[in-house]
Amino acid sequence: MVAGFVLRIFLTNYGTLSLDLNTFVAWSDSLAKYGFSQFYNGWSDYLPGYLYVLWGLGKIKEFLPISPLILYKLPAILADVLTGFLIYKIIRKTKSEKTALIFSSLYLLNPAIFVNSTFWGQVDSLTAFFAVFSIYQFPFSIYLSSISLAIGTLIKPQAAFAAPVILFLMMRKKWEIKKIALYSLIGLSTFILPFIPFSTGGNILQFIFDRIGRTLDQYPYGSVNAFNFWGIFGFWKPDSTIQIVGFILVVIFLGISFVKIWKKKESGYVLLAISFLSTFLFLTRIHERHLLVAFAPLLVAASSSYLLLIPYLGLSVTYLANLYYAYIWITDNFRTIFSPSAISFLIVFNLIFFIINVGIIPNFRKTYKFRYFKYKHAKT
């Protein structure tokens, strides 16, 4: 954890996407100076979750002479480190200390992880942390689990795709309706309350739906530079005719996964990885950065099925290529560094890695035990 943190702090001066970081600084200054109620009079496609963090950073900047590159990258860097620690805690429950440390290091020292927070300066790491934490806390505290899920969604709506996994776990544990309702009420309240200071009066629910709509409708395209299925047909293409197809594909793959691993233990992280991978690959309006949230749950799943290290490492490579492509495109006058055929090639690899997740995870332990059983008796 210390090594991962120091490495990130050392690299904060490199590879920054100034467009995003300067936007965060401007929002932070506005929030610190004028408060919350007038903020949405200007442009912003963010929900309130991360805006509270930016408000705090703006206040800190008024008193401490700290570099903006460090200050505004620090929340995502800390989220990286905390997620690495969370991976260690989860794996340590069923595996050895050595295994837990190795897998935690595979996350903390993976360039595909820290290039998002440390170089680019984006905050998808917070989404990853709160999504995984909601699954981690599910068996112990419905309060912490539901609050974590709500906070993650307030930061980035993508975290909401952990909700089907939570529902699956509820159904498998045969929760009563009252308990499900309590979980939902806690999460919904946590989600609604932070909007109130940003409202200028009127119907708060209408205000919330309006902000969510503006966030989701900001980029109405099939793929926003993301190496997903729709990227095969080109980037920045209107999604009016394909949006429903993406939702149907996600539902199909999640349904298949639910059925195949219904009786498996510790399958929450497997499903979370599949949920995030399927939404990245098949939903429209997806950015290149949105794949990051799948890495932590995928790595946890790989600690039980080592074959999953293949898609973890493979997706790390394609994700780095995707971020580099988008970075150059944004910063160098829309220059493309990969040909359409090369992009399609990388997308096909992403789809193959996804199929490995859906196809191998549910049956891997059974297959391994069966082969060992045959070998043992053949030897006898």
The model's pLDDT over 162-181, given as tens digits with 9 standing for 90+, comes to 999 999 999 989 999 999 99
Q: Which of 78, 102, 82 is nearest to 91 (CA)?
A: 102
Q: In this predicted structure, what is the pLDDT of residue 365?
A: 46
Q: Which of 182, 193, 194, 173 is nearest to 146 (CA)?
A: 182
pLDDT band at residue 353 under the 50/70/90 scheme: very high
Domain boundary (189, 211, 233) is at 211
The rounded distance, in Å, linking the Cα atoms of 225 and 147 is 32
Domain that holds residue 161: 12-211
Query: Do both 174 and 296 map to the same domain?
Result: no
Query: Do both 237 and 181 map to the same domain?
Result: no
Q: Does some domain include residue 272?
A: yes
Residues above pLDDT 70, as percent of the chain: 93
Is the pLDDT score of 312 beyond 90?
Answer: yes
Query: Do both 268 and 317 map to the same domain?
Result: yes
Domain boundary (187, 211, 235) is at 211
Q: Which of 290, 125, 167 is nearest to 224 (CA)?
A: 290
Query: Do both 246 and 379 map to the same domain?
Result: yes
Q: Does some domain include residue 7?
A: no
User: What does the pLDDT average to over 199-208?
Assistant: 92
Query: Do both 196 and 247 map to the same domain?
Result: no
pTM over 0.85: yes
Query: Do both 194 and 153 map to the same domain?
Result: yes
Domain boundary (181, 211, 241) is at 211
Q: Does some domain include residue 5?
A: no
The rounded distance, in Å, linking the Cα atoms of 52 and 46 is 11
Q: Does some domain include residue 2?
A: no
Domain tally for the chain? Answer: 2
Of 53-57, 88-92, 164-168, 303-307, the least confident = 303-307
Contact 7, 109 (CB under 8 A): yes
pLDDT (tens digit, 9 = 90+) per residue, 327-344? 999 999 999 999 999 999
